[in-house]
Amino acid sequence: MPDTIQTASGQAAPAPAAAAFAVSANAARRIAALKAVEGNDALMMRVTVSGGGCSGFKYEFGLDAALNGDDKVFERDGQKVVIDTTSLEFVANAELDFKEDLMGSYFAVGNPNAKSSCGCGASFSVD
């Protein structure tokens, strides 16, 4: 299913090129599993970018049931990822993935806008 974008008013449409954000199948499966553990099917994964981390900006991930007026919603396999428009400027054309490797299991953003990132991938810098 192609990625879609949905405003707080509930209208869904294909994600425009300027606001593209992809959700991998692994990320969608993990979001579904987290929602099941929480027992709340209304939860969405919120991705936020804020100042901090060792490289200048950091990704923050959390579950949220509320939409704010400036949120964009991206969906994969029925699982929703919410990003505010300010954060979306930093992660446009990126992909949310869920990884399991020797370092552990974690959400990661493959971000073409990042000029550098820290070793763990939790923070990044832009020009």
Q: What is the pTM of this model?
A: 0.78
Dump pLDDT digits (tens) for 26-60.
999 999 999 999 999 999 999 999 887 666 788 89
The superfamily (CATH) of domain 4-121 is HesB-like domain (2.60.300.12)
What is the chain's alpha carbon radius of gyration, rounded to the nearest angstrom?
14
Q: How far apart are CA 105 and CA 8, in angstroms?
A: 31
The pLDDT confidence band at residue 103, using thresholds 50, 70 and 90, is: confident
Residues 2/74, Cβ–Cβ less than 8 Å: no
Residue 121 has pLDDT above 70, yes or no: no
The pLDDT confidence band at residue 7, using thresholds 50, 70 and 90, is: low
Residue 70 has pLDDT above 80, yes or no: yes
Residues 47/109, Cβ–Cβ less than 8 Å: yes
Instruction: Please indicate whether residue 93 or residue 122 has the higher confidence score (pLDDT).
Output: 93
Q: How is residue 104 written in tokens?
A: 């552990």
